[in-house]
């Protein structure tokens, strides 16, 4: 349970002003009805996911297996898989239904039956990330020291101790090889299967098998076994680029350190930044461009993030805490710039005589 330690319970009279303000902010959001779901938002979103998958299949079924048809089908399957990734995130955070059981069931259906991944594996990783974002050891999303060194602190520590076997000063280059192309097609498959068999999560395995049964039943007659597998990994390869850039733009450029035992509000603001809102950005990122609001209120339906954002900005202004919001492409570029900076810190510390 140590990785899940948020903090220690304080006596009522020992709560700081910022903690009191956070409680008031939460109460204000509840009073405004911002934790209430618009069911039509999620119904339309789910329908669009299914529609894109159906269109992808119909292209192959009606236009054959030419490269044009293959790429067109892959595009619609990519949209379906990418948006299913964002919507499973909503169910995993229990932000869609009032019933925990319904949220968990739909999470298993979407992440397992539509995306071929484990619900329990996702919960295990993601909840640790939310409790202590950008905290070394406690956040699995930033704990990849044998491939990438992140932030300003860890590269310095590793360099001073002469640790590391990768040429980290070039990590902003090999990120394009080991990051976006490989995370979903390679690393996540290995980690999923390891988790499933180690924990004996046979129910999750059942849902994953329903995905592959459907996939091979639909595409096998047109593409054959290897072609069907190739289509799957090609779509997953494309989706991996989408996933990595969106999920890392909010955290990698931010403060990464050991646990400083900050209060909830301060920790989330230190570890997350936003990307400017807009119809495309909201859709493309699954509203994770409102990363600050999502981390402060992880069970809030994402269609309400824009409503609570002004309250969050006001609290940040009161306590003089930066509220960062960037253009989308700037946020993408900051990932690479941050990796370059971290790699240079390691290099200088390692070779400092």
Tell me the C-alpha distance between 195 and 284, whole Å. 29
What six digits make up the tokens of 79? 């949209």
Q: What integer pLDDT is reported at residue 142 of this predicted model? A: 87
Residue 34's Cβ-side half-sphere holds a number of Cα atoms within 13 Å equal to: 24
Average pLDDT on 322-345 reads 97
Mean predicted lDDT score pLDDT of the chain: 93
Tell me the C-alpha distance between 256 and 252, whole Å. 8
Q: What integer pLDDT is reported at residue 143 of this predicted model? A: 80
* 34 secondary structure, DSSP code: T
What six digits make up the tokens of 85? 């990734």
Q: Would you give the distance in Å from CA 160 to the centre of its chain?
A: 32
The pLDDT > 70 percentage for the chain reads 95
Residues 288-329 pLDDT 10s: 999 999 999 999 999 999 999 999 999 999 999 999 999 999
Task: From 254, 264, 269, select the one nearest 321 (Cα to Cα).
Answer: 269
Classified as helix, coil or strand, 263 is coil
Indicate the pTM of the whole model: 0.92
Classified as helix, coil or strand, 311 is helix
The answer to whether 263 touches 346, Cβ cutoff 8 Å, is no
Which residues on adjacent β-strands are paired with residue 326? Answer: 275
197 vs 48, 129, 191, 202, 233, CA distance in Å?
33, 23, 10, 8, 22
Task: From 7, 22, 55, 17, select the one nearest 218 (Cα to Cα).
Answer: 55
Tell me the C-alpha distance between 276 and 83, whole Å. 19
The answer to whether 149 touches 21, Cβ cutoff 8 Å, is no
Tell me the C-alpha distance between 284 and 15, whole Å. 39
Average pLDDT on 68-78 reads 97
Residues 190-244 pLDDT 10s: 999 999 999 999 999 999 999 999 999 999 999 999 999 999 999 999 999 999 9
98 vs 36, 37, 40, 126, 218, CA distance in Å?
9, 9, 15, 21, 35
Average pLDDT on 28-42 reads 96
82 vs 115, 249, 284, 336, CA distance in Å?
9, 16, 9, 22
The answer to whether 229 touches 311, Cβ cutoff 8 Å, is no
Classified as helix, coil or strand, 275 is strand
């Amino acid at each position: 349970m140590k990785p899940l330690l948020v903090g220690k319970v304080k006596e009522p009279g020992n709560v700081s002003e910022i903690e009191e303000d956070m409680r008031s902010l939460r109460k204000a959001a509840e009073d405004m009805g911002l934790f209430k779901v618009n069911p039509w938002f999620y119904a339309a979103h789910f329908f669009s996911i299914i529609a894109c998958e159906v269109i992808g299949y119909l292209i192959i079924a009606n236009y054959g297996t030419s490269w044009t048809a293959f790429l067109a089908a892959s595009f619609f399957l990519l949209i379906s898989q990418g948006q299913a990734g964002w919507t499973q995130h909503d169910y995993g955070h229990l932000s869609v239904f009032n019933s925990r059981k319904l949220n968990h069931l739909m999470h298993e259906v979407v992440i397992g039956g539509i995306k071929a991944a484990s619900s329990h594996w996702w919960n295990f990783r993601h909840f640790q990330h939310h409790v202590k974002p950008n905290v070394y050891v406690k956040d699995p999303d930033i704990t990849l020291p044998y491939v990438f060194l992140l932030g300003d602190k860890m590269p310095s520590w590793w360099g001073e101790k002469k640790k590391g076997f990768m040429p980290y000063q070039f990590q902003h280059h090999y990120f394009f090889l080991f990051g976006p192309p490989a995370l979903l097609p390679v690393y996540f498959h290995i980690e999923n299967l390891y988790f499933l068999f180690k924990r004996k999560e046979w129910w999750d395995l059942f849902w994953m098998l329903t995905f592959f049964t459907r996939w091979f039943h639909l595409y096998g007659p047109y593409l054959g076994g290897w072609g069907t597998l190739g289509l799957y990994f090609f779509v997953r390869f494309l989706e991996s680029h989408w996933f990595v850039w969106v999920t890392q733009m909010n955290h990698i450029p931010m403060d990464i350190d050991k646990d400083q035992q900050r209060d909830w509000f301060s920790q989330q603001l230190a570890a997350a930044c936003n990307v400017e809102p807009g119809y495309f950005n909201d859709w493309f990122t699954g509203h994770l461009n409102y990363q600050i609001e999502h981390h402060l209120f992880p069970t809030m339906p994402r269609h309400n993030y824009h409503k609570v954002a002004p309250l969050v900005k006001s609290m940040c202004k009161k306590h003089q805490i930066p509220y960062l919001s960037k253009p989308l492409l700037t946020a993408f570029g900051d990932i690479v710039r941050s990796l370059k900076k971290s790699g240079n810190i390691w290099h200088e510390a390692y070779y400092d005589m």
